Every structure is written in C-alpha cells, then in structure tokens.
Amino acid sequence: MIKVKAWLNAARLRTLPLSISGILVGTAIAAYYGETNTYIFVLALLTTIGLQVTSNFANDYGDGVKGTDNDTRVGPKRALQSGLLTAPQLKVGIYVSIIINAILIVLLIIASFGLKDIFYPTFFLILGAFAIWAAIKYTVGKSAYGYNGLGDIYVFIFFGLVSVLGSMFLYLKAISLMAILPAISIGLLSVGVLNLNNMRDIKSDAAVGKNTMVVKMGMSKAKKYHYSLVIISILCLFFFLLTTNASPLRYVCLIGYVPIVIHMKKVAATSNEAELDPELKKLALSTFFIALLFFISYYYFL
C-alpha cells in the first residue's frame, strides 16, 4: 500500500486534468464539424494521461538526482526527494510508462487511420516518439530543456497546438484554421500553470542553476508575462466563439475565466512565493473547467 501511494505521489494526479484539456477541446471541434469516434476519444485521453505520467516520473527523477528538489524548495515533496522511491525505481517506472505510451500511441493511430495508409501513421508515430522524448528531456540529462528556459515553448506546443489540433486531426484528417485559436488559448493557460510553478520555485531554481523563464526575467516581469498569457488566452477563445456562429450556450465556457481573473488578482497581490502554490491548482482546474464546458457545449449541443 505504501508503494502504491508512492507511485501515485510520483504520478502527480493533480496535473492530469490539465493534460487532457486539449483533447477535450480538439474532440469538441471535431464534433462541431460532424466527426465523433469513441475509440479515438478514449485512446487519446489515455495516451495523453500516459505521457503526462511519464513526464511527472521523469521530472521527479531529473530534479531529484540534480539536487533541484531539496529542503529549500517551496512546493510539495516529491517521491525521490522524500525517499518514497529510489532513483533506480523511478527509472524503471519511466521505462515501463514509455512502453505503455508506445502501445497506446500505436493503438490510437490504428483506431484513427487503420493499417492501409502509410503517411499519416508514420507522421503520428514520429510525433508520438517526439512527445515521449519531450516528456523525459524536460529535466533529465545534461541538456534538459527545462533548465534552459525552454519549458514554456514545449508546454505551449504539446499542451496546446499538438493536443488540440492533433486530436482534431485524428477525427477529421484535416485541421481547421480557426481551431488554432482555442489551441493557442489552452496552450497559453498551460504555460501559465508552468509559469506559476516556476515563480513559486524561483529562489530554489536559481540557487541550483535551473534557468527557467522566470529566473531569467525576474519575478516582476514574470507576473506581467503571466497576465499576458491569460489575457491573450481569453481573447483567442472569445474570437473563436464569435467566428463559429456560436449559440449563446457555447459562451458558457467563458465562465471558467471568472476564477482565473480572481486568481490574477491574487498573483498581483502576492509577494511571498510560497503563497503561489495553491494558485497552480486553481489555474489548472479552471483550464480543465473551461475545456470541459467547451466540450459539453460543442459535443452534446451541436
């Protein structure tokens, strides 16, 4: 039972709702254009969750062996940091999750494209391999991109563009130009969650040479950056709703920005980095709430 709790700790279940937000949005847009498929939907969700868990295992391992997760860190204790799991155990967990991810990616590709076509399955296999690589290399290895201020870019690409547009393509075998707007919206909110995490950890990250965007720009500019992410996200989603002849019901997803606005006020007023930790959950769950309302209004009320 203790080991189960340890692995659940390393999996960081609270990050999973954010990870599937893009899948919900991409699936909803595909439904708007007349395409639904339960197998693709379920497999896409499982694949995304699997990749997120792999990323969390790798992040726990990478930051743990580098000494980034230490007693000066503000956030919750990690599995390796607290001794719940050892580095070799986490490595095994990473390898097992990679195998599971590979199987899920293949099943998802077969469900979407079948076995006749070659080009699209090959492209998505490469994309899937790159997603696994990105999940691991965020903190693992000497060239970990999370230590060089590139985490924001990768989060925007995979949580936003790839998640929304990629899942949409699995259904439609095409991408709508306007779908880029909600993809940007979800991507920016996801970057906002990472930015909050890095603002919380700015002192401990700087001390060990983890040069995140926040460490590079400083807290004051990081807050302005945060506000920009949220504001642009609102504008992109609102413009998408306007341009798709959305019924009044579909605007309900904008309700999810109400707690985010309140969250922004909290960030503005906070000078103690530790007080930002609860804001991560608020922003992540608000993003999921927006995606869920978007999914319901476009999937069930066509």
The DSSP code sequence of 85-101 is: S-HHHHHHHHHHHHHHH
Per-residue pLDDT, 75: 61
Residue 1 lies in a domain: no
Note whether 141 and 4 are within 8 A (CB): no
Per-residue pLDDT, 84: 76
Amino acid at 262: I
Residue 90 lies in a domain: yes
Residue 2 lies in a domain: no
Q: What is the mean pLDDT of residues 47-74?
A: 79
Separation between Cα atoms, residue 221 and residue 135, nearest integer Å = 27
Tell me the backbone φ, ψ of residue 64, rounded to 5 degrees.
Answer: -70, -50
Separation between Cα atoms, residue 156 and residue 232, nearest integer Å = 13
Q: What is the mean pLDDT of residues 178-182?
A: 95
Please state the domain count of the chain. 1
Q: Quote the tokens at residue 58.
A: 């790798």
Q: Nearest CA to 196 among 262, 254, 277?
A: 277
Residue 273 lies in a domain: yes
Per-residue pLDDT, 76: 66
**pLDDT beyond 80 at 278:** yes
**Range of 230's domain?**
17-299
Q: Quote the tokens at residue 91.
A: 């490595």
Digit-coded pLDDT (tens) for 75-101: 666 777 777 788 888 889 999 999 999
Note whether 23 and 163 are within 8 A (CB): yes
Q: What is the mean pLDDT of residues 149-172?
A: 94
Q: Quote the tokens at residue 24.
A: 């919900």
Q: Which residue has the tokens 């983890």?
A: 210
**pLDDT beyond 80 at 106:** yes
SS3 48: helix
Percent of the chain at pLDDT exceeding 90:
59
Q: Quote the tokens at residue 155.
A: 């989060």
Digit-coded pLDDT (tens) for 9-28: 788 888 899 999 999 999 99
Percent of the chain at pLDDT exceeding 70:
94
Separation between Cα atoms, residue 204 and residue 32, nearest integer Å = 45
> Taking the CA atoms of the chain, what radius of gyration do you get in angstroms?
19
Per-residue pLDDT, 3: 78
Separation between Cα atoms, residue 199 and residue 298, nearest integer Å = 35
Residue 6 lies in a domain: no
Separation between Cα atoms, residue 255 and residue 259, nearest integer Å = 8
Per-residue pLDDT, 69: 60
Q: What is the mean pLDDT of residues 60-66?
A: 76
Residue 124 lies in a domain: yes
pTM (2 d.p.): 0.92
Task: Return the DSSP state at 82.
Answer: H
Separation between Cα atoms, residue 189 and residue 193, nearest integer Å = 7
Residue 8 lies in a domain: no
Output the CA–CA distances (angstroms, integers) from residue 48 to 22, 79, 118, 153, 263, in the order listed: 9, 22, 23, 18, 26
Separation between Cα atoms, residue 137 and residue 55, nearest integer Å = 8
Cα dihedral value 180, 44, 170, 104, nearest 10:
130
At 302, the pLDDT band (50, 70, 90 cuts) reads low
At 71, the pLDDT band (50, 70, 90 cuts) reads low
Separation between Cα atoms, residue 14 and residue 102, nearest integer Å = 23
Residue 7 lies in a domain: no
Digit-coded pLDDT (tens) for 115-137: 877 888 999 999 999 999 998 88
